[in-house]
Amino acid sequence: MTVLHSFTRIYYLYFSKKSKSYKKLVTVLGYCPRNIRLYQQAFLHNSHSEKIPGIQESANNERLEYLGDAVIDLIIAELLFKKFPFKGEGFLTEMRSKSVSRQMLSTIAFNMGLQDHLVFSKSIRKNHSAVRGMAGNALEALIGAIYLDRGYAFTKRFVKQKIVTPYLDFDELKDITVNFKSLLNQYAQKEKKKLEFKVLNPESEKKITTYSIAVCIDGIEISTARGKSKKVAQQIASEKACELLKLLPAA
């Protein structure tokens, strides 16, 4: 039996309908998956798949994470739009950013117990910060898997029942102010580094509808983000930079 077939067999047995892992997953989800392979992929981190000969990079959860990120953004945006009918775009964008921030999703994923389903390299197990981050990414990948397995309406109900209701209080969240740009400024001043925000949109774009902003420290690009305004794009890019530089407080 080849390494690939051996790994595939073990991995599928891990999520077989008779296994304890599958039953734990069903408890988390609240329903039985139709296409179990989507959920297998949602929890497979690239640190593991890259070490298995014959397993393509696309077999890990990065593509599902990309999809899930877009889906949960849309769902949260819709929920906020309906909950705050008289609030403007800036408020709604900031609320969505706080709701689906890296730190928030990682905390929610851990509270849901998604870390117990992760498949990744053993060398990372002692890095608790990395595991938390992987759990947050797996949550997004899981949303992508649910969307492909059950469709948008079902996924929206899942997000409302399993994520928003137990873990996100929009009324409390709106009173929490996290100025990531300010955190970066404090870091730059303390470490005596030069902090810059660069607009990446070509000058030829006369009618700019979204701004692409890069955070640069000592001339090195740390993160990028897009937003309907420079202020929003700077805040999102600053959050990404704060996460990479480990400036955020432990959740």
Catalytic positions: 69, 140
Q: Which of 193, 232, 234 is nearest to 215 (CA)?
A: 234
Helix (H) or strand (E) holding 107: helix 102-112
Residue 110: which residues within 8 A CB-CB, separation 6 or more?
Answer: 132, 135
Distances (CA, A) of 35 to 118, 120, 153, 232: 18, 21, 17, 38
What is residue 61's DSSP assignment? S
- Contact (CB, 8 A) for 210 and 230: no
Q: H helices of 84-168, where? A: 89-99, 102-112, 128-150, 152-158, 165-167
Distance between CA atoms of residues 119 and 52, nearest Å: 12
